[in-house]
């Protein structure tokens, strides 16, 4: 195991990159997809099963954990890794994004944000300094700068002001983070869909200097075309020798398009959330297991998949347990979706290493274009 | 693997018995506790994990499965074992008990019962012949006679009439079951808490002749004392060389008391249902994980337990995920409860084999009398 945090690029193919992030808690093969363990659990999954899907790293949510059970409590109990029985790397977000999407009575100042908990209405504050403290108490391996992220569309002046505030907070985050060997701090580029603002943000972050760089402020309602538009130039503004993380993305084709444009890490609740609502991602597109067409179908969800849902059960069973409201429905479909996501990542890593990313991508899109197997 | 259904007693200690039921799908070590897989899943558990707890056999509910996804569909899909990915023995109930507890507009005649589904209001009928057909379509290894079970307390005449109807249905069940090598049919003794009626019922069943015998009509609200009162004589009315099954029981001390009185098999939803409501059964009694006293407690639920909930998590974590409504709460506590139940069974099997059941029972009760570990 590495003692320090580090990143090595091992191959590139076009703009797509593959490599290895090293941490004292183990390596992260990139491009990497990080399942989201919001409140100390990847919903419906045992952590051993998450690992089995191929995940090297989880994302934890600072906002949720600081409210319940609190960062101080998790710290007393030995940190988030021990608490949730996941001994590999954990990345935590800064809490800023979820304050904006979940909390009520938010008040934003130069200092930070005050808000009321969506759980019990209690009052809290987050500042760059407090976010660094919470993430340290959690024991996070990869810490994110505290930033502000405006919803899109927004006028350019709003986006600019917000980005400049986030850059001042990035500096305060860096100072508050201090020197923590083995732990990484990532800066977050903002600037909406405006190239000049993205460059201004990237320059500010490069000046401060981080262990990795996130492309923030996307996947907030702008649509895939606008997102790819930004990803056509934004990653290149960030240091080549550091990991690039696209936050909160996405659907399978978003992920492939992001890797193609030079992104190394991503996270999203989509595979786990969809698993609990009966939606499966497969090599032939989305399958809604609640659809009556599956009720008598003895075939697996995805014949090429290695997950337990596909190896051991029929579509008819998955349909039945979804309709009956059984927990195993969410358990199996989440397991499947996370496995499929990890298989996409593994497929891309191998394709990049072997300089055949374009062919891999063609095959990926062709399978989806075929659509689901016809009903029996 | 045995080709025929069989039962061998290997040791007795007082009235307690240990032995092995053999079936073409594997052995069942007795005394056995059967987790309940109502609708084709032991709720919140993967079948591999159920097996890991030590379960040799599951119970499936005829009533639920005939309504959804229907026995005919399960049969087309290869039977219940393949459908739910459990290749070991399955016992199915007859459907009669749950018609009485769940369905609406029930109408009872000499022929059988008509009722409306609690799921969609559709009309159905169950007779001894239809119950045998449904259980055959499911592919059940151990089939239960179709019977009627009155709620207690009930006057003796009601209980007598109901028992005599059940005995006529037992004969019709036997005739409809026919000759199915490798599959077993169990008769069900009724008669409430009246010794003469229990003897009359047992005599009727012995005359017909079954592969095993259940003590039915208990655990329906009569209380432990009344139940043990019946168990003080009822098992002895049933053939010694066949398995004796106490249906729908129960709490850990019910189970130990039943085995002490000569019972070989039991089933109950309690360990799985309680697991989903935050109630854990431990060597030191019941622990309610939602209680605030656990919120900061780094200790395991039950230090002597081998299950993942106890090996890998603190009480504080289990408390947190319960309060946060996370699925892993039900998953872990169900896993724990089923493990604890199986450990009780294994403890009793070993104690009976080594003629030290009484000492084992004393230790079992002493641990519970101690109560939960004191708060920190």
- Distance in Å, alpha carbon of A314 to nearest chain B alpha carbon: 7
CB pair distance less than 8 Å for A321 and B41: yes
Residue among B170, B163, B159, B360 nearest B259 (CA): B360
Instruction: Out of B44, B45, B326, name the one closest to residue A43 (CB).
Output: B326
Q: Which residues of B touch A326 (CB under 8 A)?
A: 39-41, 43
Q: What is the rounded distance in angstroms from the CA atom of residue B301 to the CA atom of residue B335?
A: 12
A29 three-class SS: strand
pLDDT for residue B308 is more than 70? yes
pLDDT for residue B1 is more than 70? no
Q: Return the pLDDT at B102.
A: 86
| pLDDT tens per residue, range A233-276 | 999 999 999 999 999 999 999 999 999 999 999 999 999 999 99
| pLDDT tens per residue, range A296-316 | 999 999 999 999 999 999 999
Question: Cβ of A303 under 8 Å from any chain B Cβ?
Answer: no
Would you place residue A1 in the very low, low, confident or very high pLDDT band (cuts 50, 70, 90)?
Answer: low
In degrees rounded to 5, what are phi and psi of residue B108?
A: -105, 125
Would you place residue B149 in the very low, low, confident or very high pLDDT band (cuts 50, 70, 90)?
Answer: confident
Question: Cβ of B180 under 8 Å from any chain A Cβ?
Answer: no
Question: Cβ of A331 under 8 Å from any chain B Cβ?
Answer: yes
Tell whether the torsion through CA atoms of A50, A51, A52 and A53 is positive or negative: positive
Q: Does the ipTM exceed 0.95?
A: yes
pLDDT for residue A352 is more than 70? yes
Question: Cβ of B328 under 8 Å from any chain A Cβ?
Answer: yes
Mean per-residue pLDDT over chain B, rounded? 97
Q: Return the pLDDT at B9.
A: 98
Q: What is the mean pLDDT of residues B71-98?
A: 97
Q: What is the mean pLDDT of residues A57-80?
A: 98
Question: Cβ of A79 under 8 Å from any chain B Cβ?
Answer: no
Residues of A with catalytic roles: 93, 267
| pLDDT tens per residue, range A13-39 | 999 999 999 999 999 999 999 999 999
CB pair distance less than 8 Å for A296 and B321: no
**Chain A residue with minimal CA distance to B297?**
A77
pLDDT for residue B100 is more than 90? no
Question: Cβ of A86 under 8 Å from any chain B Cβ?
Answer: no
Which uninterrupted H or E stretch holds A268?
A: strand A265-268
Q: Return the pLDDT at B2.
A: 78
Q: What is the rounded distance in angstroms from the CA atom of residue A283 to the CA atom of residue A373?
A: 11
| Burial class of residue A221 in the structure, from the number of CB atoms within 10 Å of its CB (0-12 exposed, 13-18 middle, 19+ buried) | exposed
pLDDT for residue A150 is more than 90? no
The reply to whether B267 belongs to the active site is: yes
pLDDT over 70, % of chain B: 100
CB pair distance less than 8 Å for B317 and A68: no
Rounded to the nearest 10°, the torsion over CA A228, A232, A236, A242 is 30
| pLDDT tens per residue, range B21-40 | 999 999 999 999 999 999 99
CB pair distance less than 8 Å for B320 and A40: yes
pLDDT for residue B258 is more than 80? yes
Question: Cβ of B76 under 8 Å from any chain A Cβ?
Answer: yes
Pick the catalytic residue from B56, B93, B141, B297.
Answer: B93
Residue among A211, A205, A276 nearest A234 (CA): A205
**Chain A residue with minimal CA distance to B69?**
A320
- Distance in Å, alpha carbon of A5 to nearest chain B alpha carbon: 27
Q: What is the mean pLDDT of residues B107-116?
A: 95
User: What counts of helices (H) and strands (E) characterise chain A?
Assistant: 15, 16
**Chain A residue with minimal CA distance to B42?**
A328
Q: What is the mean pLDDT of residues A308-329?
A: 98
Contact between B73 and A295 under an 8 Å Cβ cutoff? The reply is yes
CB pair distance less than 8 Å for A324 and B68: yes
- Distance in Å, alpha carbon of B73 to nearest chain A alpha carbon: 7
Would you place residue A149 in the very low, low, confident or very high pLDDT band (cuts 50, 70, 90)?
Answer: confident
Count how many Cα atoms sit within 13 Å of the Cα of residue A8 in the half-sphere of its side chain.
Answer: 7
Q: Which of B50, B75, B320 to mutate to test the interface with A (most CBs of A within 10 A)?
A: B320
Instruction: Out of B39, B77, B84, name the one closest to residue A298 (CB).
Output: B77
Q: Contacts by A119-128 with C-beta closer than 8 Å and gap 24+? A: A119/A67, A119/A68, A120/A67, A122/A67, A124/A66, A124/A67, A126/A63, A126/A66, A126/A94, A126/A95, A126/A96, A126/A99, A127/A172, A128/A169, A128/A170, A128/A172, A128/A173, A128/A176
Mean per-residue pLDDT over chain A, rounded? 97
Q: Return the pLDDT at B169.
A: 98
Give, in order, the Cα–Cα distances in Å from A263 to each of A6, A268, A269, B137. 17, 14, 18, 53
CB pair distance less than 8 Å for B78 and A330: no
């Amino acid at each position: 195991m590495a003692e320090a945090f580090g990143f090595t690029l091992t191959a590139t193919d076009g703009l797509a990159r593959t490599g290895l992030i090293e941490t004292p808690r183990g390596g992260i093969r990139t491009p990497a997809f990080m399942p989201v363990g919001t409140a100390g659990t990847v919903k419906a999954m045992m952590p051993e099963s998450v690992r089995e899907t191929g995940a090297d790293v989880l994302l934890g949510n600072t906002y949720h954990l600081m409210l319940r059970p609190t960062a101080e409590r998790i710290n007393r109990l030995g940190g988030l890794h021990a608490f949730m029985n996941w001994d590999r790397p954990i990345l935590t977000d800064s809490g800023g994004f979820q304050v904006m999407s979940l909390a009520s009575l938010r008040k934003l100042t130069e200092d930070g944000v005050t808000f009321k908990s969506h759980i019990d209405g209690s009052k809290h504050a987050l500042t760059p300094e407090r976010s660094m403290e919470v993430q340290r108490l959690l024991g996070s391996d990869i810490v994110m700068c505290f930033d502000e992220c405006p919803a899109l569309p927004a006028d350019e002046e709003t986006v600019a002001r917000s980005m400049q505030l986030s850059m001042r907070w990035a500096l305060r985050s860096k100072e508050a983070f201090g020197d923590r060997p083995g732990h990484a701090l990532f800066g977050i580029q903002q600037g909406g869909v405006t190239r000049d603002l993205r460059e201004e943000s990237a320059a500010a972050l490069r000046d401060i200097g981080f262990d990795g760089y996130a492309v923030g402020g996307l996947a907030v309602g702008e649509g895939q075309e606008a997102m790819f538009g930004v990803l056509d130039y934004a990653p290149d503004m960030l240091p080549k020798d550091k990991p690039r993380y696209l936050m909160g993305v996405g659907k399978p084709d978003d992920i492939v398009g992001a890797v193609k444009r030079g992104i190394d890490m991503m996270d999203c609740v989509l595979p786990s959330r969809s698993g609990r609502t009966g939606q499966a991602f497969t090599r032939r597109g989305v399958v809604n297991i609640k659809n009556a067409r599956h009720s008598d179908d003895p075939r697996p969800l995805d014949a090429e998949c290695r997950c337990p849902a596909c190896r051991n059960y029929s579509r008819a069973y998955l349909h039945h347990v979804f309709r009956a409201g059984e927990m195993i429905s969410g358990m199996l479909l989440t397991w499947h979706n996370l496995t499929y996501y990890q298989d996409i990542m593994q497929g891309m890593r191998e394709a990049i290493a072997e300089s055949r990313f374009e062919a891999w991508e063609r095959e990926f899109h062709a399978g989806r274009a075929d659509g689901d197997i016809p009903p029996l």
